[in-house]
Amino acid sequence: MGQGGLVPGEGGPARVRLGDVGELGLIRRIRESAGARVARVRTGIGDDAAVLEPAPGALLLATTDLVIEHVHFRRATSSPADIGWKALAVNLSDIAAMGGVPRWALVGLAVPEGTDVDDVDRFYAGMREAGAPHGIAVVGGDTCAAPDGWVAAVTVLGEHVGSPRLRSAARPGHVVAVTGSLGRSTAGLRVLEAEPALGAAVPAAVARDLTAAHRRPIARVAEGQWLAAQPAVHAMMDLSDGLATDLGHVCRESGVGARVRADRVPVSEATRQAARALGEDVLGWAISGGEDYELLVALDAGEAARVAAGLLAATGTPLTLVGEITGPGEPMPIFVDERGTALAMGPGYEHFRPAGRRGG
């Protein structure tokens, strides 16, 4: 039994709710409905950003993301400047995942009528702060009233000088690797939401590091460009929904499987400390927690060590080899322990899925 108007009568046609289809099913429906290939669209729906050809030889990347109060953030734990930062950063991350150069942003912002104008200024200040290192220009937007809570819709346009790296280019035998460390954003959120008594057990410096990772994620823009310039790097995407879910996207788009050594997934010492203090499962955070905005790549096995060393030298960011792409027939990635035993691991955060179905 469900709510009022959406419940079919007895014998009526069964209706499909978003909770049943999930975001993936929805994207598939939208992609199918978007129609045939269109001229000068190299890559449409289904990757981190669209790849367009506005002029011969010029590649334009375009991506859009919604950031919604009560869904993606709470005002209690994120300031207006944090919201502005994050609304831009999640889009910069999509451009980074293609190996592109972010250039221009358009911002749609809806806020409740009584909102303090200074808070709107702070939102834009946070956005400028996130965009400044990349020279992002806010070139347009729309502002209007919201009935309930903030809504930020940011579109970022970028350029690409080489070959954008897609989710669909992973092949059996490639090594799976991730930048930085995983689970920091989820750790930060858990620290912010912890009961005061429990939260007090987290050292202050640890809490600062992790809450910053949650509120002000840093898109791996330089890393994405460097990686996309390596012929050995084939597939790339950003980790917004968690390693399990996002590697699943790569597998589906590439028609391959993947096997990940859970013990090799990079987790920072701060994240471990927070998990211990809060009595939570750090591996669950690292594998199923979202919003880390690290990069996930599939690259040639023989070149992996060289690429990792090169990325570290060029950007200061580590690249950790965590697994391998396997043959087709395994739709979702498998996580194994050091003895090769498969671990039961649920998917990361997927919108529309009831919370009860989440793994971790």
Environment class of 61 (CB within 10 Å of its CB; exposed 0-12, middle 13-18, buried 19+): buried
121 vs 337 by CB, closer to a copy of itself: 121
Q: How far is the CB of 58 from a copy of itself (least distance, A)?
A: 4
Q: How far is the CB of 216 from a copy of itself (least distance, A)?
A: 19
120 vs 232 by CB, closer to a copy of itself: 120
Q: How far is the CB of 141 from a copy of itself (least distance, A)?
A: 6
Per residue in 271-289, is it b (16+ CB within 10 Å) or e — as a string? bbbbbebbebebbbbbbbb
58 vs 205 by CB, closer to a copy of itself: 58
120 vs 198 by CB, closer to a copy of itself: 120
Q: How far is the CB of 155 from a copy of itself (least distance, A)?
A: 4
24 vs 308 by CB, closer to a copy of itself: 24
Q: How far is the CB of 121 from a copy of itself (least distance, A)?
A: 6
State how far the Cα of 227 lies from the Cα of 255, in Å rounded to an integer. Answer: 22
Sign of CA dihedral 231, 235, 240, 241: negative
Q: How far is the CB of 316 from a copy of itself (least distance, A)?
A: 27
As a residue count, the chain comes to 360
Non-local (6+) Cβ contacts of 43 within 8 A are 49, 50, 51, 164, 166
Q: Are 238 and 223 in contact (CB under 8 A)?
A: no
Q: Which residue has the tokens 């057990």?
A: 201
Q: What is the token pair recorded at 355?
A: 């919370």
Q: Are 107 and 153 in contact (CB under 8 A)?
A: yes
- Torsion over CA of 172, 292, 228 and 162, rounded to 10 degrees? 120
- Residue 8, helix vs strand vs coil: coil
State how far the Cα of 81 lies from the Cα of 125, in Å rounded to an integer. Answer: 6
CA angle, 217 then 146 then 91, to 5°: 25
116 vs 337 by CB, closer to a copy of itself: 116
49 vs 277 by CB, closer to a copy of itself: 49
Q: How far is the CB of 88 from a copy of itself (least distance, A)?
A: 13
